[in-house]
Every structure is written in structure tokens, then in C-alpha cells.
Amino acid sequence: MHTCYTCIMIDLQAAGLTPTETRCYETLLSVEDYKPSELASIVHETRTNCYKILDKLVGYGLVERFKKGKILHYRAGNPTRLLELARERRIAQEHAERDLELHVQDLITDYAKTHEQPGVRYFTGRDGIKEIYADQVKVGKPIHFINTIAGIDFYSYQNMHNLRMMAVHAGIPRHALTPDTKLAHSNYKETDKKFLLERTWLAENDYTAPVEWGVYGDKTYVISFGTEAMSMTIENSQIAESFRQIFKLLDRGQRSQPWYSELPRLAQKNAIAE
């Protein structure tokens, strides 16, 4: 007497099987083989549906089709194939998720344009922050940003320089408000031209927050280089244009100050020391 697997049917969804496909497969495990009409009667399916289910199971590699005389019979294959199907399904899902990640930003862009709502993305950690600098290259538009020395403290000078250089290598012009610091180069006028940077100096203590603000294309971004690094982008043309206008106001106001020509003081001290 054969064990009735349908009485102890397990969930084989991890392998991609539906409950009906699972019932048919487990029923076949309990016998040497079945004709479709016999299996249909046991699992309470029509003969037509049973043929369709069996064809799918054959396609999965879980069931074998053969003839006894001139009549088709079906028998179960080795259950180890279930593990292979589960792995294949998991890999396919991982590929699908990665593909979705690549395209979801385009979907957000389309959504924002259609519904006039900002598309907001959040990033965490070092790798998350790097995505913003990589996205600047992808968008390829001029970058306006308020710099902070905290980025160097967070990544190190060389690593932060490498992130900035991604835009430079892509030929993207940059406009920045940057604090005067001990790291300011005495020959900054030469290096700024080389690095496609138009710089407006801030006095040493005018901006000390560990946060970089910026805009590129239709995207406004904020990067917090704190203990728990986090960042975000807001994709909205009105917000981006608003930030560009604020940037120009700050830039013009800073350059109009009577003491602006004295900046950068620390870079000038470096030049004297050299």
C-alpha cells in the first residue's frame, strides 16, 4: 500500500510550484506511475487541467512522461530537483531586484514629472553617499554645492578628492562655496581651473556644520557626514531651481563683502610658509 503524500502535502512555493502542482507531484511520489485520467480523479481536477499541470511539471524537470504501449503515463522525478528549482528561482529574483534598482530612479523621474511631486531617495553609510556622486556623473549637469570640511574628516582627503574627481573626469563644471581651512592650497587658482571649479570662499568659521548641500540638474541633495552618515536627494525642478537661486544670492552677497579680497587667509599663510 502506497503512502498518501497528499495527506501530508508540504508547501513547495519556494520551488515555484502552485498548490495544485504540488498536489499532483506529491501524489505521483506515492506510486510508480499514473495515467492522466487516474491522477485527475485522485487530485479532483479535470482531465484537461491535469494534462496542463503535468506538462508544466515535465517542464520543471520534476515529472517524466513515457508510454506504456500506446498510452501516456507519468512518474515523479527525483525530489532533489526541487532544491535546484528553488535556487534558480532565488537567483532569478535577485537579478530582477538588481534590474529594478537600476530602473526605479527613471520611474521616479517619470512619476515626479507627471504628478508634480518630488521624488525623494534616502541613502545611508559610505556606499550610499557614493551613489550621489556617481549619480552626478550620470545626470551630467553643472553642480552647485556648499562644501564642508567634514567630508574630508569622514572619507580622508584622498578618498573625498576621488569622489569629487568623478565629475571632473566627466567634464562637468562645478560651482562651490567652500570654507577657508588649513587644507586650502596656496595655488588654488591654478588647481580650480584644472578641476573645473568656480569657487567662492567662506571665512573659516562661517560654515562649520558637517553637512554638504548641493544641486545638479533637477536634483537637490543633502549629505550629513555625521557619526551615522546619511544623505538624500529630492528630484523636483522647482526645488532645484530654488536652491540655485539661493546659491547665487549667497555667492553674490559673499563676494560683495569688503573683506572678501582677504580670503582665503589660511591659503595665503600657506603660501608664505612655503
Q: What tens digit of pLDDT does each residue of 253-268 get?
A: 999 999 999 899 876 6
Residues 151 and 268 in one domain: yes
Query: Are 263 and 133 part of one and the same domain?
Result: yes
**Does residue 106 lie in a domain region?**
no
Residue 119: strand pairing partners: 235
Whether residues 73 and 145 fall in one domain? no
Do both 173 and 237 map to the same domain?
yes
Residue 95 lies in a domain: no
Residues 262, 224, 231, 152, Cα dihedral to 10°:
60
> What is the reported pTM?
0.58
The total number of structural domains in the chain stands at 2
Is the pLDDT at 115 greater than 90? The verdict is no
- pLDDT tens, position by position, 81-108: 889 988 998 898 888 888 887 787 777 7
What domain range includes position 64? Answer: 5-83
Read off the pLDDT of residues 209-253 as tens digits, 9 standing for 90 and up: 999 999 999 999 999 998 778 999 999 899 999 999 999 999 999
When pLDDT is cut at 50, 70 and 90, the band that residue 269 belongs to is low
What span, in angstroms and rounded, lies between the C-alpha atoms of 35 and 49?
14
Within a domain: 189: yes
Q: Check whether 130 has a pLDDT greater than 70.
A: yes
Residue with cell 495527506: 7
State how far the Cα of 250 lies from the Cα of 225, in Å rounded to an integer: 22
Last residue of a domain, one of 83, 98, 127: 83
Q: What is the CATH number of the domain that holds 40?
A: 1.10.10.10
Has residue 220 been placed in a domain? yes
For residues 199 and 63, membership in a common domain is answered with no
Q: How confident is the model at residue 113 (pLDDT cuts 50, 70, 90)?
A: low
- CATH label of the domain that carries residue 199: 3.30.870.10
Closest Cα partner for 210 from 133, 123, 146? 146
